[in-house]
Amino acid sequence: MDLRKTQSDVTIVGAGPAGLACAIASARQGLRVDLIDAVEPPIDKACGEGLMPDSLQALTAIGVDFEKDLSRFETHCIHGIRFLAEHATSEATFPHGVGRGIRRTILHQILLERAASLGVRFHWKNSVQGITPITEGAFIHTNWQTFLTRFVVGADGPQSRVAVWAGLTQDNLRSRRIGLRQHYQIAPWSSFIEVYWGKHGQAYVTPISAEQICVAFLADQKIPSMQNALHHFPMLHRRLTDQPATAPRGAITLGRTRHRVISGNIALIGDASGSVDAITGEGIALGFRQAAALATALRTNDLASYQRAHRSIMRLPTIMSTSLLLMDRSPLLRNHALSFFQRKPWFFERLLGIHIGLAPSRIFESGGTLKPDYTC
């Protein structure tokens, strides 16, 4: 076992989108960054694979030139959200800006390349075994080496071991659901993210390239298979005549609020720091916003400011998640809401604008865009 010590300003445990975003934002603040993960790229995870305009804005804010990468990878423009149920269909375009459908592995590669260009040091196949706090930082012990660092960032997902070691496990669990994702080799029939509502959860369809879509299911109970899930959504089932392009991949989605996300020189980010149900489509965007706030707090040695910023970042998505889950659990409320959206599409569009982070006053503006606006 190699017991050499490496020294950095920030050591991040977990190389998912939130961890990479934090590495990028921190390196741009002039900090020396090490990033540790127990596996090595490509790193995948089941998700809906849609980035709404606020996600792209958050990427730009931390220094990722997403537009530059569009010519290298297959993606698909997203112009809004469409809700579909048995007796009602409603849709809303994004009031400002355009979203993107993108494979999770491609997004990870873009973030990885940007982090590497900023001098972030990667340590793959390093499984963290423990953390020893010291006066001005901590030792991080892995199966290969020991890291000496000023700050530790836990970006190691909902079952965060860093949270356990830091004593940051107190939380309020609001929801726990099962997700299942698969890709289909079929040309998208829409530039909208489609959300199919049913008695057994939701089905999400995201266009991710000119010839491929991502289909994801969310339910309270375990989903036996994609075919079983599709039987509950006949409108979608009739469209998916082609064979799947990838194997199915499952995940747990939680709605959870951590009481605290900092302890001493340790901070949590992404799903390790709490989460909203995947029904919001905001999980990745939250990680990007948290990364910007945390990088500033690390540079100024003021983690308390990150605690405050984290609470602010999570507030609106938590309210939206709670509201959407009420629609999931109450057929009567769901039918009334979807019928109202169908009759009043302008109201749905304004709610969508609030959801993606626009101030209510901006939603009523006739001009202006949410930057960046990647024209399709």
Provide the pLDDT for residue 367.
Answer: 42
Whether the pLDDT of residue 369 is over 90: the answer is: no
CA distance 290 to 49: 19
Please give the sequence-ordered ranges of beta strands (E in DSSP) within the chain, or none if there are none. 5-13, 33-37, 50-51, 76-78, 80-84, 89-93, 99-101, 121-124, 128-134, 137-142, 146-154, 171-184, 192-198, 201-209, 212-219, 249-258, 262-263, 266-268, 274-275
Whether the pLDDT of residue 172 is over 90: the answer is: yes
Provide the pLDDT for residue 374.
Answer: 56
Provide the pLDDT for residue 135.
Answer: 85
Whether the pLDDT of residue 325 is over 90: the answer is: yes
Whether the pLDDT of residue 371 is over 60: the answer is: no
Provide the pLDDT for residue 375.
Answer: 61
Whether the pLDDT of residue 1 is over 50: the answer is: no
Q: According to the 3-state scheme, what is the secondary structure of 5-35?
A: EEEEEEEEECCCHHHHHHHHHHHHCCCCEEE
Mean pLDDT of the region 161-177: 96
Torsion of the alpha carbons at 190, 179, 276 and 298, rounded to the nearest 10: -100
Whether the pLDDT of residue 370 is over 70: the answer is: no
Provide the pLDDT for residue 329.
Answer: 92
Provide the pLDDT for residue 355.
Answer: 85
Provide the pLDDT for residue 72.
Answer: 85
Tens digits of residue pLDDT in 218-233: 999 888 888 889 999 9
Provide the pLDDT for residue 170.
Answer: 97
Whether the pLDDT of residue 362 is over 60: the answer is: no
Whether the pLDDT of residue 363 is over 70: the answer is: no
Whether the pLDDT of residue 257 is over 60: the answer is: yes
Provide the pLDDT for residue 186.
Answer: 94
Whether the pLDDT of residue 283 is over 90: the answer is: no
Provide the pLDDT for residue 4.
Answer: 52
Whether the pLDDT of residue 368 is over 50: the answer is: no
The CATH class of 5-79+100-173+255-328+358-363 is alpha beta
Tens digits of residue pLDDT in 105-131: 999 999 999 999 999 999 999 999 999
Where in the chain are the domains?
Answer: 5-79+100-173+255-328+358-363
Torsion of the alpha carbons at 314, 320, 324 and 330, rounded to the nearest 10: 100
Tens digits of residue pLDDT in 16-35: 999 999 999 999 999 999 99
